[in-house]
Amino acid sequence: MSRILDLLRGLKLPTHRRKLSCEFRKDIGWWQAFLVKFNGISIMQNQQWLSPDTVVSTDACLEGAGGWIDGEFFSSTFPESILSASWHINALELLSLLVALRLWCPRFKGKKLKNFCDNEASVSVLNSGRCRDKLMLDLLREIAFLCALNHCMIRAVHLAGIDNRLADRLSRKHMLSVTARDSLNTELETWKEHTITDDLFVCNRVW
């Protein structure tokens, strides 16, 4: 909503006009898509985060993504379309969270979700809801759309890579030595692994 309101504030008189930007139209498109699915019921959450209902940890490197939540995990390299486009790491971190939400968001309905992430730029964008980077903004809209549909709230917490070890190893599983990979598989042998398909990495909507 912030960009829409900023544009409207620039109109000093009822007769003033402004050309609508592409990003403004994307915001309107977000609302059009959401209102079609909205059931008309909104639950006002307690904005004070004393404690989250659940925690998800995600991570990305330049080649892959990984994440986990209470006994479940995913680990995957990025599709060739993303690798060839050379996305920057901040966008890839948001993309890894998007994949996690697509896997697990239905279980978060009406809940508060804490995301551990070792990328400060991604944490700032997620918590502020604002960004000037168009690629990250596209991903942020997709994340916000999933959360809005499932009536869940998300807050990111920066966790240094050394402390985000499991998600870090999952995002780099394809790069680990055979010994390190076997150790990780043993550690997670009782966990449920999710198969990741290329469509989970795609922004389905034009915003």
Residue 91 pLDDT grade (very low, low, confident, very high; cuts 50, 70, 90): very high
User: Using CA atoms in the order 40, 41, 45, 51, what is the torsion angle rounded to 10 degrees?
Assistant: -110
Average pLDDT estimate for 87-111: 94
The secondary structure of 56-115 as a DSSP string is: EEEEE-SSEEEEEETTEEEEEEPPHHHHHHT--HHHHHHHHHHHHHHHHGGGGTT-EEEE
Quick: pLDDT tens for 109-157: 888 999 999 999 999 999 998 888 989 988 999 999 999 988 888 999 9
* Dist. CA 2–CA 158, nearest whole Å: 24
Cα angle: 25, vertex 143, 120; to 5 degrees: 110
Q: Please give the domain boundaries of the chain with CATH numbers for all domains.
A: 63-202 (3.30.420)
* Dist. CA 197–CA 119, nearest whole Å: 24
Question: Residue for token digits 């592409």?
Answer: 22
The pTM of the full predicted model, rounded to 2 decimals, is 0.83
Quick: pLDDT tens for 148-195: 988 888 999 998 867 789 999 999 999 999 999 999 999 999 999 999
Which are the contacts of 42, defined by CB distance < 8 A and separation ≥ 6?
151
Residue 44, pLDDT > 60, answer no
Residue 197 pLDDT grade (very low, low, confident, very high; cuts 50, 70, 90): very high
Question: Residue for token digits 């389905």?
Answer: 204
For position 41, what pLDDT does the model report? 65
Written as six digits, the tokens of 147 are 């959360």
Which are the contacts of 182, defined by CB distance < 8 A and separation ≥ 6?
none
Quick: pLDDT tens for 27-42: 888 888 888 887 776 6
Written as six digits, the tokens of 123 are 């944490």
Quick: pLDDT tens for 53-70: 899 999 999 999 999 999
